[in-house]
């Protein structure tokens, strides 16, 4: 399976999996990059995955339907352009022999889902939409801190080698905040240097990996002394993980 990131808008990434013949796309907010890739590589679009209802993730679906030869799968508890196959935690889907497990990951939106699969002979792949970014997490538009913290802990528990395919190239911005939380984190400092060089070459920092995110993403590290102390200094109600997460997320909302 070939994994490709198609840039859209200012910082969105539409992920495409293809086997040289059939293609699956994730969160196509814009149809144009998908149609261009299908034409360039002579692929048949045979499936669409949707993680949540925001327009920059769903806006291209209708324009893709004339060439789509397969289902649209999306979150059961959100309003997705019909027709689509609704999914929630514990369910799975199959595309080209690849089995995707579905996870409920509310927080950014109320019904947000994620998709995880293990291609044969390759590292697993996680399509997590706007729940987790490299070095960060999504804003809480519809969910609670407790929901988002639980969602992130679900993702953090996935195999370390899982490729994290989030939907925005926000990494450098997120890492500036992560450094404010853990300025002495050596793994983070090395990752900042790496990502800075990658972006200077005009390349994407993504996909990341679950193992890497455990080392550098403050929102996955709320039980550890550095993030906990930083959150308490920002007014966290207690040292409990959910309170630490809530304080970090509020701090990030206003961080410049």
DSSP code of residue 111: T
Angle formed at CA 190 by CA 188 and CA 191, multiple of 5 degrees: 60
Question: What is the secondary structure of 165-215 as a DSSP string?
Answer: EESB--HHHHHHHHHHH-TT-HHHHHHHHHHHHHHHTT-----EEHHHHHH
State the catalytic residue, choosing from 27, 30, 56, 104: 56
Helices and strands in the chain: count of H runs, count of E runs = 9, 14
130 is known as an active-site residue: yes
Residue 124: both structure tokens together: 């697993």
54 is known as an active-site residue: yes
State the catalytic residue, choosing from 18, 52, 149, 150: 52
Within 10 angstroms of residue 239's Cβ, the number of other Cβ atoms is: 14
State the catalytic residue, choosing from 104, 150, 168, 243: 168
Between CA 202 and CA 55 the distance in angstroms is 26
52 is known as an active-site residue: yes
State the catalytic residue, choosing from 18, 53, 57, 150: 57
State the catalytic residue, choosing from 18, 53, 104, 108: 108
11 is known as an active-site residue: no
3-state secondary structure (DSSP) of residue 135: coil
Residue 151: both structure tokens together: 């969602």
56 is known as an active-site residue: yes
Q: Which residue has the tokens 């048949």?
A: 44
Residues labelled catalytic = 52, 54, 56-57, 108, 130, 168
């Amino acid at each position: 399976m070939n994994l490709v990131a198609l840039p859209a808008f200012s910082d969105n990434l539409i992920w495409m999996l293809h086997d040289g013949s059939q293609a699956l796309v994730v969160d196509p907010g814009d149809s144009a990059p998908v149609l261009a890739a299908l034409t360039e590589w002579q692929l048949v679009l045979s499936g669409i995955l949707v993680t949540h209802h925001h327009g920059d993730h769903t806006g291209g679906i209708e324009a893709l339907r004339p060439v789509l030869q397969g289902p649209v799968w999306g979150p059961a508890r959100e309003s997705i352009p019909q027709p689509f196959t609704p999914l929630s935690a514990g369910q799975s889907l199959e595309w080209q022999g690849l089995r995707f497990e579905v996870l409920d990951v509310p927080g950014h939106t109320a019904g947000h889902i994620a998709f995880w699969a293990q291609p044969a002979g390759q590292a697993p792949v996680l399509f997590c939409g706007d729940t987790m970014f490299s070095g960060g997490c999504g804003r809480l538009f519809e969910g609670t801190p407790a929901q988002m913290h639980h969602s992130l802990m679900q993702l953090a528990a996935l195999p370390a080698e899982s490729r994290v395919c989030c939907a925005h190239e926000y990494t450098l911005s997120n890492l500036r905040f992560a450094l404010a939380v853990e300025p002495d984190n050596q793994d983070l400092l090395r990752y900042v240097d790496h990502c800075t060089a990658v972006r200077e070459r005009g390349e994407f920092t993504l996909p990341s990996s679950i193992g890497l995110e455990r080392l550098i993403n403050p929102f996955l590290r709320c039980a550890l002394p550095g993030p906990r102390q930083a959150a308490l200094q920002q007014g966290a109600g207690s040292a409990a993980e959910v309170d630490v997460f809530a304080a970090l997320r509020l701090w990030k909302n206003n961080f410049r």
